[in-house]
Structure 1
Amino acid sequence: MPYAKAANGVRLAYQTGGDGDPLVLLAGQSNNHHWWDGIREDFEAEYRTITLDWRGTGDSDKPDEPYSTVGFADDVIAVLDDLGIDRAAVYGTSMGGRVAQWLAARHPARVHALVLGCTSPGGRHSIERGADIRQSLIQPDPDAAKQALLELMYTPEWLARTSGPYNTLGDATMPAYAKRRHLVASNKHDAWDVLPDIRIPTLIVHGTEDRFNPVANAALLAERVPHARTYLIPGARHAYFDEFRSLASPVVLDFLDEVRTHHAPGSPH
Structure 2
Amino acid sequence: MTEFLQAGEVRIAFERAGEGPPLVLMHGAEATRQMFAALVPHLASHFTVITYDQRDCGETEAPEHGCTLSDLANDAQRLIGGLGLRRAHVFGSSFGGRVAQALALMHPRVVDHLVLGSTWPLPRPLEELCPDARRLGEVRRGLPGTAEELATWFFPEAFLVERPELRRFFANVRPASPRSARRAATVQTALDSGVAGIVAPTLLLAGELDRVVPASVTLAMAARIRNANAVLLPSVGHVTAMQAPEALARHMVHFLKPTGVDA
CA displacement 1:152-206 (0-9 Å, x = unmatched): 1111111111234689748758982221222122222246x34222111100001
2:35–2:241 CA contact under 8 A, matched in 1: no
1:129–1:211 CA contact under 8 A, matched in 2: no
Residues 165-184 of structure 1 correspond to what in structure 2 (within 5 A)? 169=170, 172=173, 176-184=177-185
Residues 97-108 of structure 1 correspond to what in structure 2 (within 5 A)? 97-108=97-108
TM-score (norm 2): 0.88
Tell me which residue corresponds to 1:157. 158
Cα offset for 1:4? 1.9
Gaps of 5+ in 1: 261-269
CA displacement 1:87-112 (0-9 Å, x = unmatched): 11001101110000011111111111
| Amino acid in the other structure paired with 2:54 | W
2:89–2:111 CA contact under 8 A, matched in 1: yes
Say how many residue pairs are matched.
Answer: 257
Cα offset for 1:123? 4.1
TM-score (norm 1): 0.86
Q: Identity of counterpart residues, as a percentage?
A: 25
Cα offset for 1:122? 4.2
Tell me which residue corresponds to 2:208. 208
Tell me which residue corresponds to 1:135. 138
Query: Does the residue aligned with 1:60 lie in a helix, a strand or coil?
Result: coil
Cα offset for 1:250? 0.5
Query: Does the residue aligned with 1:185 lie in a helix, a strand or coil?
Result: helix
Cα offset for 1:232? 0.9
What is the root-mean-square deviation in Å for CA atoms of aligned residues? 2.5
Residues 178-257 of structure 1 correspond to what in structure 2 (within 5 A)? 178-190=179-191, 193-257=193-257
Instruction: Pick closer, same or farther for the CA change 1:122–1:214 going to 2, 3 Å.
Output: farther
Tell me which residue corresponds to 1:78. 78
Instruction: Pick closer, same or farther for the CA change 1:167–1:13 going to 2, 3 Å.
Output: farther
Give me the whole-angstrom Cα distance separating, in 2, the residues matched to 1:167 and 1:200: 37
Give me the whole-angstrom Cα distance separating, in 2, the residues matched to 1:118 and 1:259: 26
Tell me which residue corresponds to 1:264. none
Query: Does the residue aligned with 2:28 lie in a helix, a strand or coil?
Result: coil
Structure 1 runs (4+) deviating above 6 angstroms are none
